[in-house]
Structure 1
Amino acid sequence: MKRIGYVQISSKSQNSDEQFEALKGVSKLFVENMSGQTTERLQHLQRPVQHLQRPQHLQRPQLKAMLDFICEKDIVVITELNQLSNKNKELIKIMKDILKKGATLEVLNIPRCKGIEDENLRKLINNLIIELYSYQDYQIESEKQQVKERQAKGIGIAKKQGKFKGGKPKYEFNSPKLQQAFKLYLEGETEDRIEEVTGINKRTFRRYREKYNIYRDKKILKKKVGKIK
């Protein structure tokens, strides 16, 4: 059994030193260089370091190298989950790939996923994390679909009422900004907050809501107002 570390270095990251310090006890460390830094700062680890600056034509070669390297019963150690990915689907896939190799994942900033000696318990917790993120991803996709359905319904009604006009609107119906604004509105956010987040003027947004008949449940609004109080 080996403890294999994986870390990404980014020019935007302010905590690289802390990450290296947290991973200094690993048998082998894979470093994904996103900033062009050298390995000099890693010499204090006194461990074999697999280090490669990220080529433009490859997507995280050190992640692939780490997944190819790990064996059964190995433990992949990271400081936090977003070191693997900040996208749910990709994170789920990488975690499944680790488990398929017979290895497990230890996440240092998750107390219940740190320092577990029992391999079966580590696997159980890894699978629970996968299930949690799978459900979260399902919820996100479901919310997006609901917004699209409401938009399509609103467009249909607008056409029947003659409110649907030709010409190119300022925002397309599937514009990410407009979809985000509709989502925030349906969740109970205020018009001021929606304008602040999306940049869509309050009056403009009202016209789009009226045009596509986007209305929110009063229960959601009451719940939101209650939280603000």
Structure 2
Amino acid sequence: MTKVGYARVSTREQNLDRQLSALKGAGCTRIFQEKRSGATLERPELAAMLHYIHDDDEVVVVALDRLGRSAADLTETINTIGQQGATLNVLNLPTFSEVPNKAMRTMLTNLTLEIYKYIAQEEREAIHERQAAGIIEAKRRGVYKGGVPQYSADSPDKHRRYIYNQAITMLEDGKLSKAQIARTLGISRPTLYRIVAEIPESIQS
């Protein structure tokens, strides 16, 4: 069995040292690390880690949100870890190691992961909603300077152009609610509503 660590920070300005120290302290002998947003689908080191692990390995992260921010993204990553025959150890969550029954231990662990997956996403959405409220208030006071929409057809960021186009496609398809689309794409509801506001009413309905 190999303990495989994964460390991630969102920007180049943030430091990985704290996570790396915790992972080494937990006994990780192989650590994958990167500086990428948890919202982006392009995380090459995470993909490399998922390809590297195999039966009986243990994937170690300091917190669940290091693996991603949306519930759908976290579910996919956790399922992939299980499909590779590995287990997941989140250092800031209980391990239930004192529970002697393996089935009960697995059930408690899965329940905890489900709760924290949605907490991570709700926290992220709350941040975006506060930002949106701040913009509305700034506009009301006449002090909002504006800016280029992050998600648009001509966004300079390739990933955000992709998310924008996927949102348009899913809205046109009409099979999912707006809340479901936002959750699937890993964006906040206010972000999706800003995209909706830019497209024809025929698509919005």
How high is the TM-score relative to the length of structure 2? 0.49
How high is the TM-score relative to the length of structure 1? 0.44
Larger Rg: 1
Structure ranking higher on relative contact order (CA contacts 8 Å, 6+ apart): 2
